[in-house]
A and B are shown apart, each in its own frame.
Chain A
Amino acid sequence: MSIQNWTFLIVGITFLLYIIIAVRSRAKNTSDFYVAHGQVSPLANGLATAADWMSAASFIGMAGLISFLGKDGAVYLMGWTGGYVLLALLLAPYLRKFGKFTVPDFIGDRYYSQTARLIAVVCAIFISFTYVSGQMRGVGIVFSRFLNVSIEMGVLIGMGIVFFYAVLGGMKGITYTQVAQYCILIFAFLVPAIFISIMLTGNVIPQLGFGSKVADGTYLLDKLDKLSVELGFNQYTSGNKSMVDVFFITAALMVGTAGLPHVIVRFFTVPNVRDARKSAGYALLFIAILYTTAPAVAAFARINMIETISNQEYESAPSWFKNWEQTGLIKFDDKNKDGKMQYLNSDANEVTVDRDIIVLANPEIAQLPNWVVGLVAAGGLAAALSTAAGLLLVISTAVAHDLFKKTLRPDLSEKQELRAARIAAACAVLVAGYFGINPPDYVAQVVAFAFGLAAASFFPAILLGIFSKRVNKEGAISGMVVGLLFTSIYIVYFKFWYPESNTPDNWFFGISPEGIGTLGMLINFVVTLVVTRFTPEPEQRIKDLVESIRTP
């Protein structure tokens, strides 16, 4: 069977599966819709959290990014996993004990203030929209490359599926489809990785193959270092970025991960505090399976790519090369007219490869069977759709619960609130789809925003809300506002206003806009604590609330 038929078959089966699950887990009330009635088992929640968290960026983008960054790719590997330690130890158990529906719920109640709640709502909606447009775009790209439909059509199909299970099932529907999506995406990621590991190093486990010897008897990473240096690149195993910047980016991604509302809200869905802790452990375990495979895939792909294209005749280039060339994501320009492809880190370079195609092209580069290619396409879709659904739910909850029920119309009945939540989810799908089809140029740029803002706003406010009884609303609100303003202005300045000055010389202490959220977070902490010192203590009932969430 051809690649296209396999893809149709596998993607079709997975979509059917999502729809069946959605029909079987309809939401009956707002508690079902927001938090799956708090009755999800820790194992299921761990699987769902892993799928929720691992987006198109983790599945499609990350290994390619690492492949081009070498050692510096560690900022993503450590940054996007280390946050779970913070989440499991510092936030999840206490938020579960608090036992409401959303992050703005906690901020609003703990800081006894509608203003604080509103700031939290605005941040949650902004972060989630930023993120969700990227997912829809990912869906469109997978469709257009493997199923030969236009990107627009791809986005529409993806929207239809998400619409169906998010609007119908709410958190309940999303949770169980995410469990299925995790299984599909991890299988799709591991199969090609294992195949390639065996082919290159003879080792079945990619994590070990990564450190093994290749056919000519040298270690894989040593060979890769040597090849990289020959082509004028830095050694693969040594970094390019300054240590300060690596430090700040890693910290911003870790803290940002712990502060992302769609991740936090997953821990409201388990029955009790014990289960919240346990499911955070499961979630990171399931995430780690992909995240420890990704650097191996990155190194394998790098070595395969260099060997297949460097100094080879263009005429005899493999078919995947020509296929991707048609999409414009691989470009070849025979500058010296010798008919061979020179891949170099200098002006004489003739081949440009878009890093986003590495994972998708990997099975073809390694000449794996056609069904593996179809499987990878289904895995990419599972990753994008599961994350998109989780984000859309946060948006609809923020609008229906935090904005309508808690702020504008407290007299809303249970039934009306559920209807409002469904309508909000439906609108959010439409807006996300619009941005998927007409992506603002800056989609890639604003991802730094999502993490930076989560780090600079939510994380300190929630952490201090649990670990300090003294911190009051004046402190928390001014901390969030200053942290947010500082981080946004820094990112907007370098990314939008003066992109030409976005170089290490102009950065504050050498910190790039990607890492500035860490500094924003520190500023938030300082401002909160200082303002709190000079303003009145919170009432006794707030102290009792803090006391009560500290024990299970």
Chain B
Amino acid sequence: MSEKSSAYWRSNLKYLAILLSIWALVSFGAGIVFSDQLDKIRLSGFKLGFWFAQQGSIFVFVILIFVYVILMNRLDNKYELNED
């Protein structure tokens, strides 16, 4: 395995660990496990736990993917791993 591609892979794994932790935190955390506690906080007409379960988590999912796209494009450029 070349030095370059193993460094690339390690950075990729680091990004995955961070982004997937956020993914689990908003959906399984805020939307399910801590949802009832969060419901005591209100965000205008929403209880916060309910909002995370039915809307907030979905917004975060979309943002996560686009953050990953940007991070990986940068990483590809850094290691000059561009196809065509």
User: Could you tell me which A residues sit within 8 Å of B by CB distance?
Assistant: 66, 71, 73-74, 77-78, 81-82, 84-85, 88-90, 93, 207, 210-213, 219-222, 237-238, 243, 246-247, 250-251, 254, 271-274, 277-278, 280-281, 284-285, 288, 291-292, 295, 547, 550-552
B33/A247 in contact, CB under 8 A:
yes
Q: Which of B1-45 contact A (CB under 8 A)?
A: 1, 5, 8-9, 12, 16, 19-20, 23, 27-28, 31-33, 35-36, 39, 43-45
Residues on B with C-beta less than 8 A from A243 are: 32-33
Given the interface pairs A238-B39, A250-B32, the reply to whether A211 lies near B57 with Cβ below 8 Å is no
Q: List 6 additional contacts besides A77-B53, A81-B57, A271-B84; criterion CB under 8 Å.
A: A74-B32, A84-B61, A220-B45, A221-B50, A238-B50, A247-B32
B68/A89 in contact, CB under 8 A:
yes
Min C-beta distance of B52 to chain A, whole Å: 9
Residues on A with C-beta less than 8 A from B12 are: 550
Question: What are 17 of the A-B contact pairs (CB < 8 Å)?
Answer: A71-B54, A74-B53, A78-B57, A81-B57, A82-B61, A85-B20, A85-B65, A88-B65, A89-B64, A238-B39, A247-B33, A250-B31, A271-B84, A277-B72, A278-B69, A288-B59, A551-B9
Report how many residues on chain B are interfacial, defined by Cβ distance under 8 Å: 45
CA distance A247 to B31 in the complex (A): 10
The answer, among B31, B65, B82, for a CB contact under 8 Å with A281, is B65
Residues on B with C-beta less than 8 A from A73 are: 54
Which of B16, B46, B54, B57 lies at the interface centre, i.e. has the most chain A CB atoms within 10 A of its CB?
B54
What 3 A-B pairs have minimum CB-CB distances, sorted nearest first?
A219-B45, A74-B53, A211-B45
Residues on A with C-beta less than 8 A from B27 are: 78, 82, 250, 254
B82/A81 in contact, CB under 8 A:
no
**Please, which residue of chain B has its CB at the minimum distance from the CB of A219?**
B45
Given the interface pairs A77-B58, A89-B20, A222-B45, the reply to whether A551 lies near B5 with Cβ below 8 Å is yes
A237/B16 in contact, CB under 8 A:
no
Given the interface pairs A73-B54, A82-B23, A247-B33, the reply to whether A552 lies near B82 with Cβ below 8 Å is yes
CA distance A6 to B58 in the complex (A): 34
The answer, among A85, A93, A222, for a CB contact under 8 Å with B23, is A85
**Please, which residue of chain B has its CB at the minimum distance from the CB of A79?**
B27
Which of A90, A211, A219, A278 lies at the interface centre, i.e. has the most chain B CB atoms within 10 A of its CB?
A211
Residues on A with C-beta less than 8 A from B61 are: 81-82, 84-85, 284, 288
B39/A237 in contact, CB under 8 A:
yes
Residues on B with C-beta less than 8 A from A74 are: 31-32, 53-54
CA distance A416 to B35 in the complex (A): 56
A277/B68 in contact, CB under 8 A:
yes
Min C-beta distance of A70 to chain B, whole Å: 9
A219/B57 in contact, CB under 8 A:
no
Given the interface pairs A71-B53, A550-B9, the reply to whether A281 lies near B44 with Cβ below 8 Å is no
Min C-beta distance of B17 to chain A, whole Å: 10
Min C-beta distance of A79 to chain B, whole Å: 9
CA distance A546 to B19 in the complex (A): 23
Residues on B with C-beta less than 8 A from A219 are: 44-45
A211/B46 in contact, CB under 8 A:
yes
Residues on B with C-beta less than 8 A from A213 are: 45
A221/B20 in contact, CB under 8 A:
no
